[in-house]
Amino acid sequence: MHQVETNNWGTPNILTGARIAAVPVVMLLLCFPERWASFLGALCFVLAGATDFLDGFLARRQRLVSRLGKFMDPLADKLLVSAALIMLIPLGRVPAWMAVLIVGRELAVTGLRALAAAEGIILAPDRWGKAKTLLQMAALTALILHYPYDGIDFHGLGTGLLWLALIATMVSGVS
């Protein structure tokens, strides 16, 4: 078990903050229909998503696990994923009903976490939650890329991955 620190300004929490700061950048890039914007948006999304895995690794490795980090890390994931899903709806890359199910589940879990935190209980993500996040990140990266690159149909790939992400999202929501 890792010791929970009270210092909230370690590298892991700074990385989580950077992931939150990337949200409006990804949203802005999705406002441009050009191929270059999709590429940069996907790159920014991937880099932001990578901080999710890096911050947790560093927190455990450097023993900088904090209550703030345990709360903010999953919240940052939800902001990044929800913003991307919502922005992809008017572009025709994500069905609205699917985005509503995923975002609705994310809001419900965030509300539950907030209620638990008010009681001094931190609900950390489990394996299903981590698998869900990985599938969502992979699906959304492909859907943000959208255009074919080197013969790969990223829209089709992203759509298939999003179905898997939806299943993982629902399973993790009840676990």
Query: How confident is the prediction along the chain (175 residues), in pLDDT tens digits per residue?
Result: 455 455 667 788 888 899 999 999 999 999 998 999 999 999 999 999 999 888 878 878 888 777 777 778 888 988 999 999 999 999 999 999 999 999 999 888 888 877 887 888 877 667 888 888 899 999 999 999 999 989 999 999 999 999 999 999 888 877 6
Alpha-carbon span 57 to 55, nearest angstrom: 5
On whether the CB atoms of residues 170 and 101 are closer than 8 A, the answer is yes
> Tokens 């509300």 correspond to what residue?
111
Q: In a 10 Å sphere around its CB, with 0-12 CB exposed, 13-18 middle and 19+ buried, how is residue 28 labelled?
A: middle
Rg value, the chain, Cα? 16
In the chain, what are the domain boundaries? 11-174
pTM to 2 decimals? Answer: 0.86
Residue 133 is predicted with a pLDDT of 86
Do residues 79 and 18 lie in contact, with contact meaning Cβ atoms separated by under 8 Å?
no
CB 172 within 8 A of CB 129: yes
> Which residue is associated with the tokens 């909230």?
8
Please check whether residue 147 is in contact with residue 38, taking contact to mean a CB–CB distance below 8 angstroms: yes
- Give the pLDDT of residue 1: 46
CATH 2.170.150.20 fits 11-174, yes or no: no
Q: Are 92 and 159 in contact (CB under 8 A)?
A: no
8 A C-beta contact, residue 47 and residue 137 = no
Let me know how long the chain is: 175
What is the predicted pLDDT for the residue at 173? 74
Q: What phi and psi, each to the nearest 5 degrees, are found at residue 5?
A: -90, 160
